Amino acid sequence: MSNVWLPCGDYHQNYSDDQGWWQSRFIKGKMILLLAVVFVAIPVLAPDYWVGVATMVGYTAMGALGVQLLIGYAGLLTLGHAAFIAVGAYTSTLLVLQFPWPHVFLNWGLAYPLSILAGGLAAGLWSVLFGLPCVKVKGFYLILTTMAAQFITVDFVLTQYVSQIGGRGQAFSLPPGTIKIGPWVVDNDFEVYYLMAILLTLMVIVLANLLRSKVGRAWVAIRDNDIAAGALGINIVWYKLLAFFVAGFMAGVAGAFWVSNTAALSPEHFPWFWSLWLVGVILIGGVGSIQGAIFGSIFMVVIMELLQIAVLPLSDYFPKLLMDFAYIKDMAFGLAICGFLIYEPNGLAYRWWQAKNYFNLWPFSY
Amino acid sequence: MKKSILLSFLIVALVGAFLIGLSTNVIAAKIRVGGMMDTTGATSDVGKDYAIGMAEAFKYINEQGGVNGKQIKYTWFDYGYRIPEAITKYKLLKRLKSVAIMGWGTGDTEALSPTVNKDKIPYVSASYSAHLTDPAKSRYNLFFSSDYSTNARAAITAWFDKKWPSKPDYGKRKPRFACCYMFASPYCSAPIKAIKDQAKMLGFEIGPDQDVSLFALDTKSQIMALKEFKPDLLWHGNTTMSVSATIRDAYALGLNTDWIVDNWGFDENLPRLAGDAAEGVMGATPCAFFGQNYKNMDIVVKMAKKYNPGIPLEKRLIRTVQAWGDALITWEALKRADKAGDLSGPGIMTKGFETMRNFDIGLGASPISFTATDHRPTTGCLIQEWKNGKFQVVERVDLKKRWPEKWAKEWLGW
């Protein structure tokens, strides 16, 4: 058997083969190419604007990964993920601005990286708090409890209390040079992009590893049938809350990253619409797939930007097109979700899987 | 078959439009000015008229020969008052090589301020937050109007000067004051520290703040809470829709108090929406109301008729005039910078905006000045009230004249 290509067809003989990452040299090469595109080709070849768009794709994907874990892998419906992103963003910002870091931490650029971790932890624990009702409720009722997370967290706790810390009013602003990782000061679009690429890669690796472990199998079992999973000896409460913690942690990291992109923060950065948007992302990308969260993010951000650029030349003749573009965008968002639910309910990830299968089975792909 | 032909046609059309879109980025002998407006989001009740006014102003500017003969290509987007959206829109406008950007809300303007300063692109916003007036922190942020903190300080001072002495309890006790605004909104909360500082200085007793959403249609619980405090004066820092809802509820529930309102909550729609409850409401006015008799108002009205004949003139608002204010100072700055041969960001700032001293836009605004150390455009604000079916002047408060020390040394940037 060649170690470059896998044999045609269903070739795995055991679980560890099936779940192995580097199954052939071709797959290794493919992943190296992907990393080269992400870390070299995009920042070197793409204009500033598209690097900014790629950063937005990454930020969306970071949030969507947590939603994917909850909805797609653990079967826990959520509509309040923006709240956990907000908790991460505020924790990180307040730690950077307010915490009396020892000089050595500031000089060595440790404050921001530690604040990312703290943001993740705070958001994870906060997410567990709002995940507690999942012990008793599921489905639509769980959606309502997660929506409560949005309103209690952003509109009440962050707005009324957390924003008052330091007496800055609602808008926090980070002075230039504050976002520093070791000697690396993150202060332009390219550096923000690299930070996003590193964090997103780490998040994908961690989540992919979790999903092929005992924990991931427990989540999937709970998603498919929680009563049966319980009968098999899986501690349902523990694994559901663990899913909330991990999803919240990732949201917190996404929030802490967001601060590096804007150097400013207010509760308006985390509207409820963003929670809804993230669910739309995984519906379009494909529920129950890590690639789905990323494909969905690319689709939702890049397609909308392309649509906008396509509308630009027409604006001279139809000025209302630009004025109403937000409506057009919302309409496109709604249409895309309807279209995918009707014509491709498994999302873009399924198409990707089909394309891969076609080549894996080639020349007997019929 | 038909389906696939239709789909192919659609794809070709989209790709074609996209390519044309890319090619329009290169515009010979034109100056690109970008815009980000809210015509659909939380502040669209005032944003739509502003956006329309801004587009009309740039058409007029081009009719007048543009910037020393160079036409302005004004490209604007609605960002729906969503901050992440504002950031991608800003990046697109930067990519389109906009020499200046006409912005909108406080949340996004403050969020973009560090980026704008780094990119050195003059950003003329409809956010008049005082946080944007200290060039040491936000060098490239500008606007034509008195800032929110100046508005707030001027409004409470005008009430203290003109209204409080006529109250029966004058001289017997301290006047009671509280604020209604959306806590989560950087726009609404921007002047709160300043107005409370002013209230303290003038000897007010300050009560608890009330959180009123920008979308609020019912504010009875906030009014009931205020009834316990019995305020003589309330500040409302939202936009017209929620301001009128609050004033109406206060009127209906018998909360006997006076109101002072920030400029975005005080326009021609307020009496339409609040009815009798609007009687006596005072507000900060950065410029004349639409159609009022001022030097350049006939141009504003003429352009409104010419370019948007479908919108009846009686529906147009002070927001149009505010948009003209921001457009006119940008035009003036571009002309001055172009004359000096430097249309770069720093050039537009130092050879354009920061050379303005008592510049009059001719639309009832206070004279405008910018210096390298102070971007507060005006030193005071005109306070008007809605009385007997029309807006009437209460007082033009000049803070710099009344408190020169504090104006110079304490109040910059907040």
Summarised one tens digit per residue, pLDDT across range A143-193 is 998 999 999 999 889 887 888 776 656 567 787 788 899 888 888 889 999
* A59: nearest CA partner in chain B: B84
CB atoms within 10 A of CB A242: 19
> What local confidence, expressed as pLDDT, does residue B24 receive?
47
Instruction: Spell out the alpha helix ranges (H) of A99-110.
Output: 103-107
pLDDT band at B28 (very low <50, low <70, confident <90, very high): very low
pLDDT band at B6 (very low <50, low <70, confident <90, very high): low
> What local confidence, expressed as pLDDT, does residue A1 receive?
47
> What local confidence, expressed as pLDDT, does residue B27 receive?
46
pLDDT band at B152 (very low <50, low <70, confident <90, very high): very high
Structure tokens at B322: 């505010």
B155-163 average pLDDT score: 96
> What local confidence, expressed as pLDDT, does residue B25 receive?
47
Cα distance between residue B210 and residue B219, in whole Å: 10
Structure tokens at B92: 């697109």
Q: 């993010």: which residue's tokens? A: A297
- Which residues on chain B are in Cβ contact (under 8 Å) with A269? 83-84, 107, 111
Q: 């991460």: which residue's tokens? A: A88
Among A153, A150, A85, A162, CA closest to A124: A85
Q: Would you say A149 and A158 are in contact if contact means Cβ atoms under 8 Å apart?
A: no
> What local confidence, expressed as pLDDT, does residue A2 receive?
55
Q: Least CB-CB distance to B88: which of A154, A305, A327?
A: A305
For the whole model, what pTM was predicted?
A: 0.79
- Which residues on chain B are in Cβ contact (under 8 Å) with A49? 91-92, 94-95
Q: 């038909």: which residue's tokens? A: B2
- Which residues on chain B are in Cβ contact (under 8 Å) with A153? none
Res. B5: pLDDT tops 90: no
B130-153 average pLDDT score: 94
- Which residues on chain B are in Cβ contact (under 8 Å) with A305? 88, 92
> What local confidence, expressed as pLDDT, does residue B45 receive?
82
Cα distance between residue B286 and residue B267, in whole Å: 11
> What local confidence, expressed as pLDDT, does residue B86 receive?
86
- Which residues on chain A are in Cβ contact (under 8 Å) with B83? 262, 266, 268-269
Quick check: helix, strand or coil at residue B188? helix
pLDDT tens figures, B108-117: 888 888 889 8
Residue type for B365, please?
Answer: A
CB contact under 8 A, A310 and B17: yes
Structure tokens at B194: 């300043």
Quick check: helix, strand or coil at residue A365? coil
Chain B nearest CA to A56, separation (Å): 8
Cα distance between residue B283 and residue B187, in whole Å: 16
Substitution target from B82, B129, B183 for chain A, most A beta carbons within 10 A: B183
Q: Least CB-CB distance to A309: which of B22, B113, B193?
A: B22
CB contact under 8 A, A262 and B111: yes
CB atoms within 10 A of CB A175: 11
Helices (H) and strands (E) in chain A, counts: 18, 4
Res. B19: pLDDT tops 80: no
Q: Would you say A122 and A99 are in contact if contact means Cβ atoms under 8 Å apart?
A: no
Q: Least CB-CB distance to B114: which of A263, A326, A327?
A: A263
B21-34 average pLDDT score: 65
Q: 């789909």: which residue's tokens? A: B7
CB atoms within 10 A of CB A290: 22
| Percentage of residues in chain B having pLDDT higher than 70 | 93
Substitution target from A62, A262, A265 for chain B, most B beta carbons within 10 A: A262
**Phi, psi (5° rounding) for residue B205?**
-95, 125
Least confident of A99-103, A234-238, B205-209, B280-284: A99-103
Q: 């900060």: which residue's tokens? A: B284
Cα distance between residue B167 and residue B173, in whole Å: 11
Substitution target from B40, B48, B52, B125 for chain A, most A beta carbons within 10 A: B40
Structure tokens at B374: 């102070």
Which residue has better confidence, B104 or B88?
A: B104
Cα distance between residue B13 and residue A361, in whole Å: 36
* B15: nearest CA partner in chain A: A310
Low-confidence ranges of chain A (pLDDT < 70): 1-11, 166-171, 319, 364-366
- Which residues on chain A are in Cβ contact (under 8 Å) with B112? 262, 264
Chain A nearest CA to B406, separation (Å): 20
Chain A nearest CA to B23, separation (Å): 9
CB contact under 8 A, B87 and A311: no
pLDDT tens figures, B367-406: 999 999 999 999 999 999 999 999 999 999 999 999 999 9
Substitution target from B36, B52, B87, B239 for chain A, most A beta carbons within 10 A: B87
pLDDT band at B26 (very low <50, low <70, confident <90, very high): very low
CB contact under 8 A, A262 and B113: no
DSSP for B52-98? Answer: HHHHHHHHHHHHTTTBTTBEEEEEEEE-TT-HHHHHHHHHHHHHTT-
What is the CA A339 to chain-centroid distance, rounded? 23
